[in-house]
Structure 1
């Protein structure tokens, strides 16, 4: 997993997973798997899945030429609110993009460390050879 800065200031974690290296077939399966992880996470709240790709097509926005689908999984990582300013950082989001031969999974650093570590484990589990669509991420042995 790579830690990068997007737009010159946003700390984002990015993982590229070759389609040949994962049992997940499409963005919807990955979004459903991540949603299941959120539902199982104590204190977290699933908000929804936003069809970012479809929205951009409807409004005529440009997209990367090799992008075939993109969805954002929205959630609240937990009940801890360190300050009123932290509200600007929530809800959290996990981006899932289909780039033809690979998936690109990305998420912004969470306001506190623990959710970021959990998200990294979920994304790592998406690549794991022993994970299959019937066995959701977050269940793998680490």
Structure 2
């Protein structure tokens, strides 16, 4: 798992799995597995799956030709609401992109370290 800065200000975590590393062959299979992990955690609430690829096609947006599929699984760690500002950084999502020979899985760094660790563990568990 790499930590990166996207567009010089967004801190993200990202991992690229070769297709041979995973038992999953589609983005939907990965989403299904992530949803199982989210549903098994009593603190995390699944919200939705968003098809970023289809949305971009429908609005006639630009898609890098190397990208075959792109979806986000959206969820929330809602253990507390200490200030109104916390809602600005919720909910969370994990993005899954299919390339020719790999899947890229990433998420935006959360202000809560426990949430980052949980998301990193969920993503890394895909390889088990």
Structure 2 residue 83 is matched with structure 1 residue 83: yes
Total equivalences in the alignment = 128
* Alpha-carbon offset, residue 79 of structure 1: 1.9
* Alpha-carbon offset, residue 81 of structure 1: 2.4
* Alpha-carbon offset, residue 41 of structure 1: 0.7
- Taking the TM superposition and a 5 Å limit, the aligned residue runs for 1:34-53 are 34-53=34-53
Match of 2:38, SS? helix
Structure 2 residue 25 is matched with structure 1 residue 22: no
Counterpart position of 1:126: 126
- Taking the TM superposition and a 5 Å limit, the aligned residue runs for 1:88-107 are 88-107=88-107
* Structure with the higher strand share, 1 or 2: 2
| Distance in 1 separating the partners of 2:118 and 2:89 | 17
5+ residue gaps, structure 1: 129-142
* Alpha-carbon offset, residue 78 of structure 1: 2.7
* Alpha-carbon offset, residue 7 of structure 1: 1.3
* Structure 1 segments of 4+ aligned residues over 3 angstroms from their partners: none
Counterpart position of 1:56: 56
Counterpart position of 2:12: 12
Counterpart position of 1:116: 116
* Alpha-carbon offset, residue 36 of structure 1: 1.1
5+ residue gaps, structure 2: none
Counterpart position of 1:135: none
Match of 1:11, SS? strand
Match of 2:3, SS? strand
Match of 1:41, SS? coil
Q: If the length of structure 2 is used for normalisation, what is the TM-score?
A: 0.96
Counterpart position of 1:66: 66
Structure 2 residue 14 is matched with structure 1 residue 32: no
Match of 1:12, SS? strand
Match of 2:86, SS? helix
| Distance in 1 separating the partners of 2:20 and 2:126 | 12
